[in-house]
Amino acid sequence: MKNLIVLFIFFLMTSCVSTSPSSNTNNQTSLSPEIQARKRTTEMKNVLGLNAAQEEKVLLINVVNFSLLKKLTESNQTSQIPLTNEKYRMEIKEVLNPEQYGKFLDQFGNL
């Protein structure tokens, strides 16, 4: 009988632990716009082969874009996000050469 009680308590405790909310704060929404922009710029540098001047311009565009998207999301103005994304693509297109922009659309076009 004691074994059954101990076993029951064990299962109860493990079920509580497995259903507790995680405290993982590394998701995209908790990262600052600057950190998100740096990550995106680094990824773009690796995929697109950006030079130093392009990297600097893309970083600035990404910081502004992520900051704007965060503000729009927080203020519940999500209807303006598609327009913001289109402006972002136009600004990126001015910095990249045609080959890089084609790769950008393939790799990052769903932004």
Summarised one tens digit per residue, pLDDT across range 9-65 is 766 666 665 554 554 444 555 789 999 999 999 999 999 999 999 999 999 999 999
What 3-state class would DSSP assign to 44? helix
Tell me what pLDDT residue 72 has: 94
Using CA atoms of 97, 103, 105, 108 in order, give the dihedral in degrees to the nearest 10: -120
pLDDT one-digit tens code per residue, 68-106: 999 999 999 999 999 999 999 999 999 999 999 999 999
Distance between CA 13 and CA 41 in Å, rounded?
A: 44
CB 67 within 8 A of CB 33: yes
